[in-house]
């Protein structure tokens, strides 16, 4: 009974304390709200209604009334940058940095935002200088990521490698895929400058960073082919099958050229036929069809296209099949086949060949780095089947 009596006393007292605390918080909130200019709430309302232009005007008025509003400066600068008014965003953040009483954390934040302004404006040198000032603190990681973006844009691959390594030490996800590609870019430059030794050195580094890097293997073959070592080049390109057979279309024509240089075209045609059979691909079929037709005649090329169509029906394969049938047909059947082939080719010739698996950017050429999202190795090296037209 005594316990029940005390509970009857405790519950009302706890309720009373809660009511008093709530009233106190409400009064504090109302007091703070009363001190805020009406323009602040107007600006928030405009933001909620997706009216950034009016929101900016309202926030500018608040900043004029109360220059100490640091957070509003940041909000205003970000709004300017999102609108593309980078010059105004830069002035806002520079104005913040000019304040002697700005706390260190807020100064770092302002520097980071200013670097983003410069980057958005395309002022890469000034952006790099700003981000390099953020070696420590809450924004150090973001600054390093931005620096990596700048070095990729500038194609300064040595700095990109150093920055990626630095990011890994800061606890980011492994960047071996990107680092390997940076070394491949350097190898490509060395090849263009006719420096095969430097190209091979960079390719060795690329494979250390990512042993599954197909591009390095392909470039190793290119280095050997340029030196006339076709046997070694073929051996390198054949390694692609074990690494990732989806990339075989990128070496198919190179392989045939090497086999032709060695006078072993039939061996190359056998290999291409095997690849088309095991790894159905429009690109492989294109290369295989041309070389099989030249070496063994249209009947053999027709059989290759027919086998491909049975395994993986598509419009590109159908074009090759109709081409082979048309060459053997007589009038009027030949004209009918030509009409069908023309219609299919018109339907497919202007469509993109490759699609980024990350952002969906489409292009007719294969890229190791997507022009849309700047991701590395996001393109699958196979042509995209035409999309059916909607009714």
pLDDT in tens, 312-371: 666 666 676 667 666 666 667 667 667 766 766 666 666 557 888 888 888 888 889 888
Q: Given this model, what pLDDT does residue 284 score?
A: 85
- Is 373 known as a binding-site position? yes
The crossing angle, in degrees rounded to 10, of helices 104-121 and 124-131 is 160
Q: Which residue has the higher pLDDT, 356 or 47?
A: 356
Q: Which residue has the higher pLDDT, 171 or 39?
A: 171
CATH class of this structure's domain 67-169 = mainly alpha
- Residue 206: pLDDT over 90: yes
- Residue 295: pLDDT over 80: yes
Task: Give the architecture (CATH level 2) of 175-247.
Answer: Alpha Horseshoe (1.25)
Give me the helices (H) in the chain, please. 2-35, 38-48, 52-65, 70-82, 86-97, 104-121, 124-131, 140-154, 157-169, 176-192, 196-209, 214-226, 230-243, 249-261, 265-278, 282-296, 298-311, 315-328, 333-348
Share of the chain above pLDDT 70, in %: 70
Averaged pLDDT score across all residues of the chain:
79
**Stretch 298-321: mean pLDDT:** 73
Q: Given this model, what pLDDT does residue 350 score?
A: 60
- Is 184 known as a binding-site position? no
- Residue 42: pLDDT over 90: no
Model confidence at 236, in pLDDT bands (50, 70, 90)? Answer: very high
**Stretch 8-32: mean pLDDT:** 45
Q: Given this model, what pLDDT does residue 352 score?
A: 54
């Amino acid at each position: 009974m005594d316990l029940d009596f005390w509970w009857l006393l405790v519950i009302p007292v706890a309720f009373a304390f809660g009511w008093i605390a709530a009233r106190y918080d409400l009064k504090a909130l109302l007091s703070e709200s009363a001190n805020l200019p009406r323009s602040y709430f107007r600006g928030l309302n405009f933001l909620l209604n997706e009216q950034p232009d009016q929101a900016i005007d309202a926030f500018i008025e608040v900043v004029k009334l109360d220059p100490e509003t640091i957070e509003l400066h940041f909000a205003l600068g970000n709004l300017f940058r999102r609108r593309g008014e980078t010059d105004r965003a830069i002035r806002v953040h520079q104005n913040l940095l000019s304040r002697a009483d700005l706390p260190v954390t807020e100064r770092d934040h302002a520097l980071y935002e200013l670097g983003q302004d410069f980057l958005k404006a395309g002022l890469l040198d000034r952006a790099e200088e700003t981000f390099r000032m953020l070696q420590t603190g809450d924004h150090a990681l973001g600054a390093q990521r931005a620096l990596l973006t700048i070095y990729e844009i500038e194609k300064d691959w040595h700095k990109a490698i150093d920055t990626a390594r630095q990011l890994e030490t800061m606890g980011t996800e492994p960047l071996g895929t990107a680092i390997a590609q940076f070394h491949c870019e350097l190898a490509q430059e060395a090849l263009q400058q006719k420096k095969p030794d430097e190209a091979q050195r960079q390719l060795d580094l690329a494979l250390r960073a990512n042993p599954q890097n197909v591009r390095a293997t392909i470039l190793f073959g290119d280095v050997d082919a340029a030196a006339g070592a076709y046997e070694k080049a073929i051996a390198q390109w054949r390694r692609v099958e074990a690494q990732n057979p989806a990339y075989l279309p990128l070496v198919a024509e190179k392989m045939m050229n090497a086999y032709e240089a060695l006078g072993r075209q039939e061996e190359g045609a056998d290999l291409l036929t095997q690849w088309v059979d095991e790894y159905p691909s429009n690109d492989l079929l294109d290369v295989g069809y041309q070389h099989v037709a030249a070496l063994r005649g249209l009947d053999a090329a027709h059989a290759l296209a027919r086998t491909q169509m049975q395994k993986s029906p598509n419009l590109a394969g159908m074009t090759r099949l109709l081409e082979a049938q048309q060459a053997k047909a007589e009038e009027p059947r030949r004209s009918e086949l030509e009409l069908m082939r023309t219609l299919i080719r018109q339907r497919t010739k202007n469509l993109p060949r490759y699609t980024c698996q990350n952002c969906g950017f489409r292009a007719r050429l294969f890229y190791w780095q997507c022009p849309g999202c700047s991701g590395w190795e996001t393109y699958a090296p196979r042509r995209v089947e035409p999309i059916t037209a909607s009714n």
